[in-house]
Amino acid sequence: MMSPELTTLLDSENAASPATLQVDVIADLICPWCYLGKRRLDDALAAVHGPSLVRWYPFQINPTMPVSGMALDEYLEKRFGNAEKLQSAMNELTLIGKAEGINFDFDKLERVPNSLDAHRLMKLGETEEISTSDLAENILRGFFERGLDIADRDVLIDIGGGSGLSPTEINKALDNDLSRRVVLSQEAHVRQRGVTGVPDFLINKRLFAIGAQSTESLIKIFDRAMFGEESDLPVSPIIH
């Protein structure tokens, strides 16, 4: 259930105008469903054509992950009990990804990284007013399609540079403990207000969508958020 406090948390001094579709995305950058949800969100926003504002908020699926990360097999064993049983699920996820233009390559993943510094890079992107959705795309693609260690600073500098951030800016942000504290504080507030999994989407501060919604469902939610309760389009049952 979406609490009023979470809505308040995701409010901003730079709130969108009433004519702008605003989407607050809560996601982790090592979550395959967040990658799917992000692509579907992109398609839904493209379909409605109007002005939009997308903001990203941090969530760590594994907040106690060691800074050095964890070997993939060890992680899967610890989290799910038996890595081999997950193969069919990963095969299915690969097929689902192809439908969204995502080339999941789980064979390239050797380790599951700690995602905190990737979230700090996203926060820097927001501060520098680059497209954080493009930056998220580059981080997610780097991890899931290229097998990059997105906890490695050199990798983050390369990804950030491709998104318009300078190595100097990135090093300065990652050396500054303030960015770590800001990300952790923001995540703590989100958790305290009821978020337990990702991705989640808050639409125009009114409707909260849980999970990697289909493009069609997101478009219907946009309609409901923009035009009000009188809309005759059905609302996804996953809205709370």
Domains, the chain, in order of start with CATH, read 4-227 (3.40.30.10)
**pLDDT band for position 237 (50/70/90)?**
very low
Provide the pLDDT for residue 238. Answer: 40
pTM as predicted: 0.88
Cα–Cα distance measured from residue 237 to residue 101, given in angstroms and rounded to the nearest whole number: 26
123-141 mean pLDDT: 97
- pLDDT surpassing 80 at residue 12: no
pLDDT, position 195: 94
Residues 133, 42 contacting (CB under 8 angstroms) = yes
- Contact yes or no for 221/24 (Cβ under 8 A): no
Whether residue 50 has pLDDT greater than 90: no
Provide, rounded to the nearest whole percent, the portion of the chain with pLDDT above 90: 77
Under 8 Å CB-to-CB from 206, ≥6 apart: which residues?
A: 225
Does residue 202 surpass a pLDDT of 90? yes
Query: What's the chain's average pLDDT?
Result: 89
pLDDT tens digits, residue range 24-38?
999 999 999 999 999
Statement: residue 11 has pLDDT above 60: no
CA pair distance 14, 195, nearest whole angstrom: 23
Checking if the pLDDT of 10 tops 70, the result is no
143-168 pLDDT, tens per residue?
A: 999 999 999 999 999 999 999 999 99
Minimal CA–CA distance to 34: which of 3, 70, 58, 68? 58
Non-local (6+) Cβ contacts of 11 within 8 A are: 205
Decide if pLDDT at 18 tops 90. no
- Which token pair is 119? 């979230």
Cα of first residue to Cα of last residue in the chain, in angstroms, is 5
Q: Which of 84-88, 178-182, 198-202, 232-236 has the lowest mean pLDDT?
A: 232-236
Res. 14 pLDDT band, cuts 50 70 90: low
**Is residue 234 over pLDDT 70?**
no
3-7, 73-77, 98-102, 193-197, range with greatest mean pLDDT: 98-102
From CA 84, how far away is CA 77, in angstroms rounded? 9
